[in-house]
């Protein structure tokens, strides 16, 4: 579409860094602000309908830009500019060099502490979006960038939904248009990461993103195991067979090795079938993971092989039972030593005591 050295609006194209069926992303230079950016442009062939109107893909891109422009958080890609030039919509956004999170799924060389840190950052970014009334609706490893500087950033808010309770942003891409929103009953997102309510076209909120986050977490922490087990009545594959009562994924602790205490409980709660059974916010998840990460860091500094349980939750019953095992083992050793001593005294008494064998032999 564009070559290095070409210009689009005020931006100078440097090279292409990604593309999809609807658009192309370029690394470009902004001569006014003197910085490199990522420039997302809708393909001309899909930008307009046969009647010359902006296509749904073009409208979606501009809605994305306007909705996310107010989101200023280190764990979400920033939006600098959004508009339309000669009938071609575009978004100028933060350039975040790095690798997609999907690159690291299944990579055994990634330390567990680092994975937990990444998931905490994603949770922080989602929490900031939810506070702005934005539901991402397409959280997946391909929409998360692990930057070269260690930051993790959410991007591709192309199917973002602004909740009715949030301040509305007028969509001026069409005359007399309604505020930016999407209709209940329209299923948008990636099926394998959808919450059940989202897959059914029901109302969604931040807890729907939480379910998708948990699916990503399950996959990342287990080394690539995805909790896919069935399809919904519409034939769309989703992460769990939520339409079969009593059926669900294995606990993460059963498929992930070297998992710190508490992590499996967090992920499985966020994977609950009903939104009301999940956490109230992504902020709770972020805080819990950060506490676990701090416990892991403290254990490593202390030279321990395993981190202490995170203090954000009570110790599970089985863990409490296990905690008593060393004391019971010490008790068993004490009884064994006492038995040996008694036996030794008996043997010595038999040989050397006043009624012993040697005493009788010497004094018949």
Residue 208: per-residue pLDDT: 97
Question: Which of the residues 127, 138, 209, 261 is marked catalytic?
Answer: 138
Residue 317: per-residue pLDDT: 27
Residue 68: per-residue pLDDT: 85
Residue 173: per-residue pLDDT: 42
The CATH number, out of the four listed (1.10.3720.10, 3.40.50.300, 3.30.200.20, 1.20.140.10), of the domain defined by the range 1-95 = 3.30.200.20
Residue 233: per-residue pLDDT: 60
Residue 319: per-residue pLDDT: 40
Strand 98-100's sheet: what is its strand order? 98-100, 144-147, 152-154
CB contact set of 258 (below 8 Å; sequence gap of 6+): 112
pLDDT averaged per 10 residues, the chain (length 364): 91 92 90 94 82 79 82 93 87 93 95 97 97 94 95 90 65 39 56 90 95 96 82 62 71 92 96 95 98 94 60 36 36 52 54 48 44
CB contact set of 150 (below 8 Å; sequence gap of 6+): none
**Residue with the two structure tokens 């929409």:** 143
Distance CA 15, CA 25 (A): 9
Cα-Cα-Cα-Cα dihedral sign, residues 161, 165, 169, 172: positive
Domain 98-317 indexed as CATH 3.90.78.10: no
- Answer yes or no: 138 catalytic: yes
pTM recorded for the entire structure: 0.76
Map out the domains of the chain as residue ranges: 1-95, 98-317, 325-362
């Amino acid at each position: 579409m564009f070559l290095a050295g070409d210009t689009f609006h005020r931006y100078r194209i440097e090279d292409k860094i990604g593309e999809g069926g609807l658009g192309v992303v370029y690394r470009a230079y902004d001569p006014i602000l003197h910085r490199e950016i990522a420039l997302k442009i809708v393909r001309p062939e899909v930008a307009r309908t046969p009647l010359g109107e902006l296509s749904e893909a073009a409208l979606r891109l501009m809605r994305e830009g306007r909705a996310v422009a107010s989101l200023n958080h280190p764990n979400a890609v920033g939006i600098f500019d959004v508009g339309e030039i000669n009938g071609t919509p575009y978004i100028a956004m933060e350039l975040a060099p790095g690798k997609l999170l999907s690159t690291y799924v299944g990579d055994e060389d990634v330390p567990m502490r680092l994975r937990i840190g990444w998931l905490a950052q994603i949770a922080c970014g989602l929490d900031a979006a939810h506070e702005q009334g934005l539901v991402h609706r397409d959280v997946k490893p391909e929409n998360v960038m692990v930057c070269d500087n260690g930051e993790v950033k959410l991007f591709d808010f192309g199917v973002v939904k602004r909740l009715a309770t949030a301040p509305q942003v007028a969509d001026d891409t069409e005359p007399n248009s309604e505020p930016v929103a999407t209709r209940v009953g329209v299923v948008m997102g990636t099926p394998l990461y959808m919450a059940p309510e989202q897959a059914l076209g029901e109302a969604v909120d931040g807890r729907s993103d939480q379910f998708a986050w948990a699916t990503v977490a399950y996959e990342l922490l287990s080394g690539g195991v995805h909790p896919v087990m069935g399809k919904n009545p519409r034939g769309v594959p989703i992460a769990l067979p939520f339409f079969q009562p009593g059926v669900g994924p294995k606990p993460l602790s059963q498929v992930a090795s070297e998992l710190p205490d508490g992590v499996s409980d967090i992920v499985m709660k966020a994977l609950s079938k009903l939104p009301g059974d999940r956490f109230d916010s992504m902020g709770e998840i972020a805080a819990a993971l950060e506490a676990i990460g701090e416990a892991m860091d403290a254990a490593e500094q202390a030279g321990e092989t395993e981190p202490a349980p995170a203090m954000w939750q009570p110790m599970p019953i089985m863990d409490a039972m296990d905690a008593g095992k060393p004391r019971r083992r010490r008790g068993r050793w004490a009884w064994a030593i006492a038995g040996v001593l008694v036996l030794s005294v008996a043997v010595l008494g038999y040989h050397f005591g006043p009624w012993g064998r040697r005493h009788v032999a010497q004094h018949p």
